[in-house]
Chains A and B, each alone.
Chain A
Amino acid sequence: MKLEELQAIWDTQNDRPVFSLNDSRLSVGLYQQRAYHRKRMFRVWFAPMMLTMLVLLGANLITFLGFFMKTITRMRITDPQMTWWDGAFLASGVASALAILVPYFKQWRAHEKAQEIFAPSLREELERGITQLDFEMRLNVSTQARVALGLIAVAMFSLLFEMARWNGLPPSKLLRAGAVSLVVGVLAGFAAEKKVVARIAERKRALQSMLASLDESAESK
């Protein structure tokens, strides 16, 4: 059979398509799928980090205001008094939370925007896929991720220390509890990080091998 004959067979589909389409089901499916992809990305990457930072930010601010009000009203002689050092410590906690929250929010917005853009060729689609995986990897293992852990520690310790001071408790108890939970959290984070990185690396290899097959020179064939 010649190619022209195969094309003629192929063209019969123009008059008799291989499928018929259920339009109303398609509309529902489209809506569900779009919602699923967008929600998943937000839920897995950005929401936990931004929520944690918002809570720490709010708690540091409330502690600052509460302690400050207690200092200026001074109802009892035994009430603890806020010093410049307390103020500076809480301010560093607020700044740490903001230093994570703002860049993560910006990254999330940029990511959402990038996802909307259509790649005009297979090559660009693959390259964009690899860039996307690099982005996911960076969220897990980059300097930014490690700095974020440090900033979380600062925000949490300033909060615990000042809450203890505000309530007239010995700060060491709360700090010890905070340190234990932080160490456990960091260790769990590192354990999860290895798995995530291995999974991303596997997906990246698949994309790279496909890109390499596109790059095969015609001469090598």
Chain B
Amino acid sequence: MPDENQRRFDEWTRVHRGLLFKVVRAYAFTSQDQDDLLQEIAAQLWRSVPGFRGDAAETTWIYRVALNTAISWTRKEHKHRKGAQSIEGVEPILQPAPTPDLRVDWLYAQIRELSEVDRSLTLLLLDGFSYREMAVILGITENHVGVKVNRIKAYLIHQSKRDSNHET
């Protein structure tokens, strides 16, 4: 069974790596913080492996773990900084893409302006999750999700219009 858990964890971190990167990028803004958060998420993901029964899709489960961890981590971020050891000269775990996509960067900049819970909803919205799935992942009602998602959609569309007007 431990081998099976190890295999599943390896597979998750390999196949769904992109999902973890999205959460990390949305919640942590410096290289050190991004490394720290990724480690925290990976640790929680490892702990969650024995609890995965296959009732939910793997992506739903991984998103659930990653978002809950990211929100908790944000809460404790100042403590991490206090106790953080200097890692100058140490290669970071996460290395930014060599040729960044400016449109993706713009999206993350908008997400960064949102509250912690709204950031989670935005990630799930952009990845095409249903209201029901979002409600299950965050532990809130579907109605509440609906209200919040409508506000987020309006916000993102408004921001895109505003910025495209500025560009023109």
B-binding residues in A (CB < 8 A)? 1-3, 6-7, 9-10, 12-14, 16-22, 25-26, 29-30, 33-34, 116-125, 129, 206-207, 210, 213-214, 216-218, 221
Contact = CB atoms under 8 A, between A and B. Distances in A.
Interface of A is mostly: helix
Secondary structure dominating the interface of B: helix
B75 interface: yes
14 contacts: A3-B125, A3-B157, A6-B107, A7-B128, A10-B107, A13-B22, A16-B101, A19-B97, A29-B93, A34-B43, A116-B47, A118-B44, A122-B68, A216-B144
A147 B71 CA distance: 37
A17 B17 contact: yes
In this complex, the interface size class of chain B, counting residues with CB under 8 Å from chain A, is 35 or more
Contact of A22 (B44, B95, B126): B95
A182 B42 CA distance: 46
Contacts of B148: 221
Interface of B: 17-18, 21-22, 24-25, 34-35, 38-40, 42-44, 46-48, 51, 64-65, 67-68, 71-72, 75, 90-97, 100-101, 103-104, 107-108, 115-117, 120, 125-128, 136-141, 143-144, 146-148, 151, 153, 156-157, 160-161, 164
B96 A18 contact: yes
A121 B137 contact: yes
A40 B156 CA distance: 42
B38 A26 contact: yes
Given A1-B157, A210-B116, 10 more contacts: A12-B103, A19-B96, A22-B95, A29-B39, A117-B51, A118-B65, A121-B136, A125-B68, A206-B75, A214-B117
